[in-house]
């Protein structure tokens, strides 16, 4: 019999580090995607301007305009951006590469939201 060599102890990163890393990577991909930037930034700004362009905001108060713009922005990103991003990531094999990481499945999918 041979001497058993000491194996290095493998440590699994904490869930906070996993989520931070996944969110950082997703944010970088999102910023590189021009369509996502237009949908998430330009559309709400246009909406805020058009709702307040009438009589200097007499139609809606500023807080209501902001709430509508944020709501429409989040909804449009969810409908237009998220589905296209998930489909593209699935085609390119991003999910297969992420599955070999120590991150749990729920963390991978929730970081995509």
pLDDT per residue as tens digits for the range 40-79: 677 777 776 776 665 565 667 778 877 877 887 778 777 7
Mean pLDDT of 79-95: 79
55-94 burial string, b = 16+ CB within 10 Å, else e?
A: eeeeeeeeeebeeebeebbeebbeebbeeebeeebeeeeb
Nearest to 26 by CA among 89, 78, 92: 89
**3 has a pLDDT exceeding 70:** no
Nearest to 102 by CA among 9, 23, 11: 11
Phi, psi values for residue 4, rounded to 5°: -80, 120
Question: Which residues form the domain of 90?
Answer: 33-105
pLDDT for the residue numbered 79: 76
At which residue do the structure tokens 């963390």 appear? Answer: 107
Q: Provide the number of structural domains found in the chain.
A: 1
Domain-located, residue 19: no
Domain-located, residue 64: yes
pTM for the model: 0.46
Domain-located, residue 69: yes
């Amino acid at each position: 019999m041979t001497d058993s060599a000491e194996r290095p102890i493998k440590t699994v990163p904490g869930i906070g580090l996993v989520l931070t890393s996944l969110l950082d990577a997703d944010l970088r991909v999102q910023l590189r995607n021009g369509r996502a930037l237009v949908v998430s930034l330009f559309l709400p700004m246009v909406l805020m301007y058009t709702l307040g362009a009438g009589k200097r905001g007499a139609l809606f108060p500023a807080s209501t305009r902001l709430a509508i713009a944020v709501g429409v922005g989040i909804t449009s990103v969810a409908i237009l951006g998220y589905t296209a991003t998930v489909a593209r990531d699935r085609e390119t094999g991003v999910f297969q590469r992420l599955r070999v990481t120590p991150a749990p499945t729920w963390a991978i999918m929730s970081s995509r939201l």
